[in-house]
Amino acid sequence: MEKRGELHSTLRIEDVPTVRSMVAQKLREAIMSGTLKPGQRLVERELCEMMGVSRPSIREALRALEADGLVNTVPHRGPVVSTISLDEAKQLYAARAVLEGFAGRECARLHDPDVVRRIGDALTRLKAAFAEGDLTAALEAKTDFYAALIGGCQNTFVERMLRPLHDRITLLRITSMSHPKRINKSLREVTAIWRAIQSGDPDLAEQCCVDHVKAAAVAALSMIEQSSAEKEKAIADE
């Protein structure tokens, strides 16, 4: 028993966040909120000064974010916030439509009152943020909406696949939400998702989720194509 207790003590991991994990979380939040924008350089020296931590902690955090696809190391520039190509965006939205449609179906089928409430609360905050023109608050509310939806499907494997997808898609969400008239359409779509889940209609919830993802994809892909065309024109005019 004494040896077992000693082994338990040796292997036990205390749930204390490391500096690296705290730095990574702060940078993740800045990327998700749009404070750090796609393509923006992440200069180690500047980050050290802003965050008051050592370079090794910054480097470890950037490596963790690179593994999650949120940061990319560019030759001669160093770490930058990831951008997503047109082909990558198409693949992301296609995968998201399938997985999120399933998540919506399961949420409606399981019809957990707490999940319905959390989705509804996030939707209320999203509407308020849009009404006030607060993009940061809107992105946070949307993140909470999807977190409740994904968690509510109670499928560990779907959660594991969808959560990193949503990290990447947040980089595109700022783009799609800047599309003319997209905000009002998006609100109608996520409201329809919530109502379908609230009414316990799996077929409708799945269809609403898929329709929402497809509409977001059209807006985001259109903006990416426009941005690419503008960059190509600028290069040609130089």
CA quadruple 182, 184, 190, 194: dihedral, nearest 10? 180
Specify the pLDDT at position 180: 58
Specify the pLDDT at position 43: 93
> Rounded CA gap, 116 and 150, in Å?
12
Please check whether residues 157 and 233 belong to one and the same domain: yes
Count of CB atoms situated within 10 Å of the CB of 90: 15
Please check whether residues 104 and 75 belong to one and the same domain: no
The CATH number assigned to the domain holding 74 equals 1.10.10.10
Please check whether residues 117 and 41 belong to one and the same domain: no
The three-state secondary structure class of 42 is coil
Specify the pLDDT at position 6: 53
> Rounded CA gap, 53 and 217, in Å?
38
Domain around 218? 86-237
The CATH number assigned to the domain holding 157 equals 1.20.120.530
> Rounded CA gap, 187 and 215, in Å?
12
Please check whether residues 113 and 179 belong to one and the same domain: yes
Q: Which residue has the higher pLDDT, 228 or 91?
A: 91
**pTM > 0.75:** yes
Please check whether residues 116 and 207 belong to one and the same domain: yes
Q: Has residue 55 got a pLDDT over 80? A: yes
What's the structural domain count of the chain? Answer: 2
The three-state secondary structure class of 197 is helix
If you average pLDDT over residues 72-87, what whole number do you get? 90
Average pLDDT, the chain: 86
Contact 61, 24 (CB under 8 A): yes
Please check whether residues 230 and 122 belong to one and the same domain: yes
Q: What is the pLDDT of residues 128-146, one digit of tens each?
A: 998 998 878 888 899 899 9
Give the gyration radius of the chain's Cα atoms.
20
pLDDT > 90: percent of the chain = 56
Q: What is the pLDDT of residues 9-36, one digit of tens each?
A: 555 545 556 888 888 889 988 887 778 8
If you average pLDDT over residues 213-222, what whole number do you get? 89
